[in-house]
Chains A and B, each alone.
Chain A
Amino acid sequence: MKKDEELLYGVIIFIVLAVLTGAEYWMAVATRLWAALSAIALLKASLVLQYYMHLSRVTSGDGGH
């Protein structure tokens, strides 16, 4: 993958994480849907594991870049 594409990926994931964090805060203040908060936390963690930590590299053995 080209550098610009990888950087763009990073930006997109960051924006999604920021929106989810905002939604999390709003949900806690306005709706108090605790189950939804847990689901958002799991989704955020999955995104970081997959796109920032490159979990799949452990089994694929590639350079990742």
Chain B
Amino acid sequence: MAAHTAAAPHADYHSKLGNNRLGLWLFILSDSFLFIGLFVTRFYLLGGHRPELNQILGLIVTSVLLISSFFMNRAEVSIAHGDRKGFLNSTLITMLLGLTFLVGVVGVEWPLAGQHFGPDTGPEGAVFFMMTGMHAFHVLTGVLFLSIVYRNGRKGLYSAERHWAVEACTNYWHFVDVVWIFFYPALYLIGTVAAG
């Protein structure tokens, strides 16, 4: 009887884990429809043209997000093996890279793009600012999520057996990366810059 009660919370946690994962993926699926809509809008409104953007800066922010995904993966692997220090370090680096991405897009790219078009000057501006703005908002919420996970991690709330919040945060962060995998070529690479 005592063994049964001791094992019950552990079994309960693992039975909930399946539901949690399904719920998270349903959320990701529903959120992805928003980005699919923006992606389709870009090709519907701009067709074979693309906004005039700084190519090098686009490659740099893309690389920053890619590297952040690598560290996010390290964070999850570390906590899954009980390495709390490795988890905290990798989470902190991911957060800093996320903030760097935000500075690159909102702080640098937006003013540069603003020299050619604005959010209200035509389809180019509307598409560019809506796509990057919505994505940046998700990066910001991802950084907030990471900061909560980091704080809880410092308190020792996660272990190798119980770290669902870390897994959820990791998947959310990678989802934001997947969105940028499609947005980057759509905004920076595919099509020709419209003359004038």
* Interface residues in chain A, defined as those with a beta carbon under 8 Å from any beta carbon in chain B: 3, 6-7, 10-11, 13-14, 17-18, 21, 24-25, 27-29, 34, 37-38, 40-41, 44-45, 48-49, 52-55, 57-58, 61, 63-65
Contacts and interface: CB of A to CB of B under 8 A. Distances in A.
Interface of B: 14, 17-18, 21-22, 25, 55, 59, 62-63, 66-67, 69-70, 72-74, 77-78, 80-81, 83, 160, 167, 170-171, 174-175, 177-178, 181-182, 184-185, 188-191
A37 B66 contact: no
A interface secondary structure, majority: helix
B175 A53 contact: yes
Contact of A37 (B22, B83, B190): B190
A28 B55 CA distance: 10
A3 B84 CA distance: 13
Given A3-B81, A10-B77, A24-B185, A58 B21 contact: yes
